[in-house]
Amino acid sequence: MEFGLSESQRLFEDTLGGFLAEQLSMEVRRGGGRRDPRGRGSRGPVRHDGKLQP
């Protein structure tokens, strides 16, 4: 019985982790690079030193 419980819990955690990762990547694609200016979704042009141009 213990094995079945741990197996189902591991499966649940894998599913939940994959779901959260999917949600996070979707949010990053949708919301732009507000948290990280060097992110892929940043709005302005980015210079080579990593700072946003005015």
Write down the pLDDT at residue 35.
Answer: 56
- Report how far Cα 23 is from the mean position of its chain's Cα atoms: 7
Q: What pLDDT does residue 51 have?
A: 57
Predicted confidence at residue 14, as pLDDT, reads: 84
Per-position pLDDT tens, the chain of length 54: 556 678 888 888 888 888 888 887 777 666 655 555 555 555 555 555 655 555
* pLDDT given at position 7: 82
What is the rounded distance in angstroms from the CA atom of residue 23 to the CA atom of residue 32?
14
According to DSSP, the residues that pair with 50 across neighbouring strands are none
Q: Is 46:53 a contact under the CB 8 Å cutoff?
A: yes
